Structure 1
Amino acid sequence: MKTLFNKRISAEAAIQKNYRGVTKTFAMSSLVIATVMLSACGGSSSDSSSDGQTTPDNALPINTCDSSSGLTIVDTASDLNFNIEQSYSAGQSATVIANINNRDSAGLTYQWQQTSGPDVSLSSENSPVLSFIIPSYGNYSFTVNVSGPQIDLSETVSITAGSAINQLNINSDHQVVQGNGVSLRVARINEQTVDDIEWCYFSNQAVELDLTDPERPLFTAPSVSSDSVIGLKATGQFAGETLSDEVFVLVTNESAITSPYFDQPIARTYSYNSASVYSANASDCVYSNQLNQTCDIADLPLIGQVSNSENIESVMERVVVSHDWMGENFETFLKQSDPNSDFIKLLQSVTAVVISYDVRPSFYWVATGAIYLDPEYLWFTPEQRDSINEAPDYRSDFGNDLQFIMPWRYVKDNDYAYGRIAKTERTTRTLADITPSLASLLYHELAHANDFFPRSIHSTLTGPTLIDDFYRRTDSNGLISDQLQNVDPLTSSEMFGLAGVSFLGETANETQKAYMPDDVTSFFLSDHANDFYAYSSTREDAAMLFEESFMSHRYQIQRDVAVTDPTNLIVDWGQRGRVGSAELLDRAAFVIDEIMPEIDGKTLLNGLPEPINMTPGRDWFENIDISPSIAQSLSKVSSLSSSETSVERRPVLIGREHRDMPIPKR
């Protein structure tokens, strides 16, 4: 599993797709037949290897280090001890690892707090590995409480950090389960790249690294018989000097994988609210390598099936995280960026919210009833971002044989509503910065949850599992996305076929390879879809209509979509705010009325701006200023556009932020 369910191309080849109401089924592997598959935006069963591990495609062995500093053990009066670095210095990544004598960390709870020294930003305070950036020279103390069956220990460790020195800096030390993916990053110095980066290891475990990008090596944590520290060293050249740094990854021994659903190693997660009555079930039922069968509704109902649950507190009782900051930032967003309670209403149709460093991209899974969020949408600080696995999306090369692309972006006041901060940038973000992208993600994923189980049918669900009710609803074509096809179905066989190539990894045939942008424009405009991704499945068709409608309605952020060549991005056809066109009114209004009945769909859509056509022959970037000139809003949703040097302005292909999922098999 390269992040989550990445190694699954053969399963994708087995997908069932609704082409103009006709189900087209491909041969399925025995693994997929035996497993209840994910649905909507989400992962699926994977063609897992026999050892339960996946190795990055370009991983190769690296050499052992000629020299290294390593870690020093600091004993205490109890069975709790610490592994600390030989030296610490200001401005550098640092680690302290807590360890129980003769015991692995599985099943234990860790809680760190700083007790003295200059304030440190902590992002891994619930892990055996405390990783942080040292702000300045001085003395620091940290206390950790470790609890679990027959264990309740608390000890303090102190370190001294010297003044800043000229050396490399690797962000950052991690805890990772065996078989899980790991990414590291060499920080740039004064925004300049370090040259000739070489890696070696100095632990007892040999390591294979994918060094396609030496600044960001990838590897799969090896199998271990007990918790083990992997030590790695990077050496590079900068300003005529040879610089180096070391990084430590704690690989933890875990129980054997028994789940047919999560059949590849996944990160350790826990309930964000440990006092919740759903604390144990929320974690065990939605993100566990020991999930052997889907949980009953009685064990983990939809949030909306519990009385008086339409509030933030009820939602946060169902949040499962790999790091506390993920839950904290999500709660902040719900409290301050959801004034109309849209997301609180939509979240009534999920059982839980999972936010974990190895989830990429985001998805909804009908088997668990949960949504899974990529924490890339939630970080505020560089230290928080450091804890997210950077393994690339396995679908990055889909559609490379085609002679067109259909990029998209969200726009406000003739500018990008938000940008993408390069991984090499170490900067902070505000709530205003993350709101547009997180809102669009939530509108999309929660549209899937409400497509399957809208609030109007919660009282009629009989279980015993959500999958059972899903089957009953699909047998009667009861899903909102099913009914949408009766309102105004999409019919372009060419677009359905091209979507299979671009989003599902199918091989393009010669006819598809020959299509030029003007061909695709004619295919697309023959239908009433608001985006190319709508053709990947009927479920995505409904979700895309809902997402774009509410982004325009609530945030005055419009969506651009175009057909261009893949090289120069010359627009053949493009439009801003397509969901507001009269041709899409009935389709979009139907979805809105069914998912959010408090709002009249046609009234909402009639209040949206008229679509604006792009100028053919200009490139994608030149077509940014097509709206009538207006004064820049003082309450602009995102402030990122004011920092041009730190924000990437590049075309985005839809489908990269979500996963289009197979329909579950009985």
Structure 2
Amino acid sequence: MTRCSEQSSPQLLSRDGIRLYQQSQYLANQQSSVVATLSDGQSRGYQFQWQQTSGTPLTLTVTDNPVLPFVASSSGDYGFQVTIENAEHQYSTTVNISVADGDGLSVRQDHQAVEGANVSLRLDRRNGSAVQNIGWCIAYGPDVTLDLDDAEVPLFTAPQVNSDSLLIVRATGTINGVPLSDDVSLLITDEAAITSSYFDTAVARTHSYRADSPWREVLQRCVYSNQLTSSCTLNTLPLIGQETAEDASDTTAIMNRVLVSHDWMGQNFEAFLNNLDPHSDFAKLLQSVTAIVISDDVRPSFYWVVTGAIYLDPEELWLTAAQRDTINEAPDYRAAYGENLQFLVPWRYVKNNDYASIYRSPALRQSRSLAEVEPDLASLLYHELAHANDYFPRSIHGSLQGPTLLDEYNRRSANKALGSDQLTQTLPLQSAEMQSLAGVRFLGDSATATETSYLPADVAGFFSPDSANDFYNYSTSREDAAMLFEEAMMSYRLGIQRDVAITDKPAVVSSSTVTVSWGQRGRIAEPAVQPRAAMIIDYLMPELDGAAIEAALPPPVAMRTGESWLANLVLSSGKNTPQLVSPMKVPEQPLRLSGDRHPAVQ
């Protein structure tokens, strides 16, 4: 990466055992930060806490990190205090800065990243207008190589360092012909050598959301650590349900098991459980996990039997633009699978002939309500927790032998005792073609010449007569069960239906350019699918009646072939289905493809 012709010179202060980095200048309405680490350059194992001590009150979204990012809306003097501590030591100091009026770019966001981690930055648009003539260079610190396929969102891998090191990357550009710039500061932290064969790439720093959690000392080392070499025993970290017994509504016990990279993630998750779980579905299903990890580097979300934890992408949890700024935008590693196939399988959740969730572009810096989070987060949790309850349903918590969950899983799997095993034995999927194609699209298998020749009509002929509700069902028997449960519960509890279709794959892929060859809304109520969904509901949540739920779901509605995915947003069931929106008036949302989130890792 090119080094800037004019290097930046951050102000360095060392006092009270703390090393502080300040920007060379601070401008109002520009992304800014103060950076702290210990004087010896090793902050590993310490907790950070910032607070503002003077100046016009700022909105501080991230206060639990070595880097304090903020935007001052007005010029003036500001003061902050940072406290750094572990079990043996505590350090604290203050810092004062002056913010001037000025005009510049704003790059989101100054933050801490572990060495070897994937890092993303985002250059703000101003009032919706794109910055022209964008350039990037290194203004201070170690060399990195930026991926600039999207000039507004550069990606790179944090360099290896011997001690915590400041990296300053500069963005330049013009707005209305006026040249502007901004320096973004990143603290690259030195970490312990990777010894885990599981987490063999860098993972973000995380901490217990509840500082007083009785599980604080074991959570990270048992579920999210580069030093994890084997499963922790159930004596060390049991399932939540083994601790709470019959009291599944005990959200305190659940939140004691939450591990986060940023505190806002735990706060929003807790608010969701307290306000948007009226039937205690998620509280009950969470009894079958050991922990909930919400971290800025989790993408995609997944459940992992080795730790018994679920790992959630915080993209489903942010409420403010500042919260969203903290989330890494590195793409899902599976995005390129199946590129040579000639069809797509898009999906979406809908309610009243409209998208159930609202897509908000990061460039627009909008906030959203907790209610807007519900469709995406609920569907994600129903899916991931289906895996956990498939492996370890509440009915067996009292008889788990261990010593680890992995041992327990291996015994149950060998005996075909899982709900997904029973589903496959009793009501198996039939299409060998779809199963093979799923290996290409979701597992990275190489496509055969025959598979690359399949047209959408061919794939529709394989899929539509079978009893899966989505293409992703064919990836594994575990995903088959989870997809059935997810769609059924979304329709039953929230009145939200799922669309799935087989479309073509034009050169430019979007909701308005792909053409539906076959599609359905509410396929979960298809007669061939119903008994399979009912069976897995009964297994995962025996307090419900799967057959009764399935019988009460709205009947499936066929899509109009030959029309675009967007045009098929408004469908009529022939029973006076309300047509509340016109496709021409619906803002186009990004196309979601089958399996683009939540794999289960065994």
Report the TM-score, using the length of structure 2 for normalisation: 0.95
Q: Deviations over 1:118-164 (max 9, x none)?
A: 3322232111111122232222222111112542122222222222x
* Structure 1 residue 616 corresponds to structure 2 residue 553: no
- Matching residue within 67, 70, 73 for 1:132: 70
| Alignment correspondent of 1:523 | 462
| Alignment correspondent of 1:417 | 356
CA contact (8 A) 1:503 1:660 kept: no
Q: Deviations over 1:531-580 (max 9, x none)?
A: 11100110010000000000001110000011111124221211111111
Which gives a bigger RCO, structure 1 or 2 (Cα 8 Å, sep 6+)? 1
- Matching residue within 482, 487, 490 for 1:543: 482
Q: Deviations over 1:329-360 (max 9, x none)?
A: 10011011111100000000000000001000
Q: In 2, distance between residues paired with 1:70 and 1:384?
A: 28
Q: How many residues align?
A: 591
TM-fit CA distance, 1:75: 4.5
Q: In 1, distance between residues paired with 2:155 and 2:460?
A: 39
- Matching residue within 277, 291, 312 for 1:352: 291
Q: Deviations over 1:247-292 (max 9, x none)?
A: 1110011111111111111100111112111111111100001112
CA contact (8 A) 1:261 1:291 kept: yes
CA contact (8 A) 1:537 1:660 kept: no
Q: Percent identity?
A: 50
| Alignment correspondent of 1:246 | 183
Q: Deviations over 1:386-445 (max 9, x none)?
A: 111111112222222122111111000000001332232211111011110000000000
Structure 1 stretch displaced more, 170-179 or 154-163? 154-163
CA contact (8 A) 1:133 1:383 kept: no
Q: In 1, distance between residues paired with 2:526 and 2:318?
A: 35
TM-fit CA distance, 1:176: 0.7
Q: In 2, distance between residues paired with 1:491 and 1:193?
A: 50
CA contact (8 A) 2:434 2:474 kept: yes
Q: In 2, distance between residues paired with 1:117 and 1:632?
A: 52
TM-fit CA distance, 1:631: 5.8
Report the TM-score, using the length of structure 1 for normalisation: 0.86
Q: Which amino acid aligns with 1:255?
A: A
| Alignment correspondent of 2:545 | 600
* Structure 1 residue 397 corresponds to structure 2 residue 336: yes
- Matching residue within 220, 223, 227 for 1:286: 223
| Alignment correspondent of 2:99 | 161
Q: In 1, distance between residues paired with 2:144 and 2:295?
A: 24
CA contact (8 A) 2:7 2:140 kept: no
| Alignment correspondent of 2:498 | 559
Q: In 1, distance between residues paired with 2:294 and 2:483?
A: 22
| Alignment correspondent of 1:478 | 417
Q: Deviations over 1:23-47 (max 9, x none)?
A: xxxxxxxxxxxxxxxxxxxxxxxxx
* Structure 1 residue 382 corresponds to structure 2 residue 327: no
Q: Deviations over 1:491-548 (max 9, x none)?
A: 1111011111111112211111111111111111231111111001100100000000
- Matching residue within 61, 79, 104 for 1:123: 61
TM-fit CA distance, 1:109: 1.2
Structure 1 runs not aligned, ≥5 long: 1-61
Q: In 1, distance between residues paired with 2:117 and 2:219?
A: 22
| Alignment correspondent of 1:257 | 194
The 1:660/1:506 distance shift into structure 2, 3 A limit, reads farther
Q: Deviations over 1:288-318 (max 9, x none)?
A: 0111211001000000011345121110000
Q: In 1, distance between residues paired with 2:589 and 2:261?
A: 30
Q: Which amino acid aligns with 1:168?
A: L
The 1:401/1:75 distance shift into structure 2, 3 A limit, reads closer
- Matching residue within 92, 99, 102 for 2:40: 102
* Structure 1 residue 573 corresponds to structure 2 residue 518: yes
CA contact (8 A) 1:123 1:387 kept: no
| Alignment correspondent of 2:156 | 219
Paired residue secondary structure (2:92): strand
Report 1:129-278 matches (<5 A). 129-163=67-101, 165-278=102-215
Paired residue secondary structure (2:514): coil
Q: Which amino acid aligns with 1:93?
A: Q
- Matching residue within 71, 83, 88 for 2:10: 71
Q: In 2, distance between residues paired with 1:586 and 1:580?
A: 9
| Aligned-residue RMSD, C-alpha | 1.9
- Matching residue within 417, 440, 455 for 1:501: 440
CA contact (8 A) 1:197 1:237 kept: yes
Q: Which amino acid aligns with 1:566?
A: K
Q: Which amino acid aligns with 1:193?
A: A
Q: In 2, distance between residues paired with 1:116 and 1:90?
A: 16
Q: Which amino acid aligns with 1:161?
A: V
Structure 1 stretch displaced more, 187-196 or 63-72? 63-72
